[in-house]
Amino acid sequence: MMKRKTLIRTLIPAVAAVLIACNGAPTNNAQAATTSEKNVATPVVATVAKDVPADVAKTITATLEKNYAAQQLKVLSINTTPINGLFEVVVSGKQITYTDATGEFMLVGDLIATKEGRSLTEERKTVLNAIDFNALPFDKAIKEVRGNGSLKLAVFSDPDCPYCKRLERELAKMTNITIYTFLMPIPSLHPDGHRKAVQIWCQADRTKAWTSWMREGKMGAKVAECANPVKETTTLGESFGFNGTPTLVFPNGKSQAGYVPQPHLEEIIKQQQK
């Protein structure tokens, strides 16, 4: 299965791809060009913790961005760690790395507090990746309400992703849930995904068009292309660091990538409401 060539994965060995999600290149050429233009127009300024010396922050940022200029890596934040001289550096894609004060040496992996058996890295990931569920642009999502719609769930999905279709068939078994689907086709894996996403969005009843295609394999009659949010929702997913579909976003701000079968899916959704 193809992996996204995210920035940090270009510099270090990649972790194994999740086998229950469709993973691909982070952007197509057009999106990469847009990202590059944004970087030129709006330089990224790293957030630096108060206890990080200014000169150290400047050195780390300059070193990493110079060494990985070809990947357009940007330092997003720099913090201290419990280990003297080791700094937590969050780079493009909200990926956590650790460096010395010069930025010449980098570690990637979990920082463990051995006494408690806690992964400080995972705790930081939870904070960095938290999503304000209520701030999501729901007007740009395909909304489906089943039963009283009491459970809430947002899904970033690709119309040609087989695992997304499997997830949809599991969601169809649930009652009392509101599902917001944000279209996020991955061109590197599914070249026709964008066209299908636009076609589904532009149908008179896009919810029916989506569920018919994803759960039954039935595509509606061709319609004229309309104003649609597909590029915007794809960019939104990428801004959250999502590198595959389906990715589930829960009301408590947590997210999870990949297909999950019943009954575990419903249990997870219920647990992540608050």
Measure the CA–CA gap between 26 and 34, rounded to whole angstroms. Answer: 13
Task: With residue 214 as reference, give the H or E element that holds it.
Answer: helix 206-216
Tell me the per-residue pLDDT of 10-61, one tens digit each, with 9 for 90 and over. 443 333 333 466 776 433 333 333 333 344 445 678 899 999 999 999 999 9
Tell me the per-residue pLDDT of 102-129, one tens digit each, with 9 for 90 and over. 999 999 999 999 999 999 998 998 888 8
Class in CATH terms, 133-271: alpha beta
Which tokens hold the place of 75?
């330092």
* Domain 7-128 fold: Nuclear Transport Factor 2; Chain: A, (3.10.450)
Tell me the per-residue pLDDT of 198-229, one tens digit each, with 9 for 90 and over. 999 999 999 999 999 999 999 999 999 999 99
Identify the pLDDT of residue 12. 39
Identify the pLDDT of residue 153. 98
Instruction: Tell me: cis bond preceding 229? Omega within 30 of 0 counts.
Output: no
Helices 193-201 and 230-239, axial angle in degrees (round to 10):
120
How many Å separate Cα 47 from the centre of its chain? 21
- Which of helix, strand or coil describes residue 223? coil
The domain limits of the chain are 7-128, 133-271
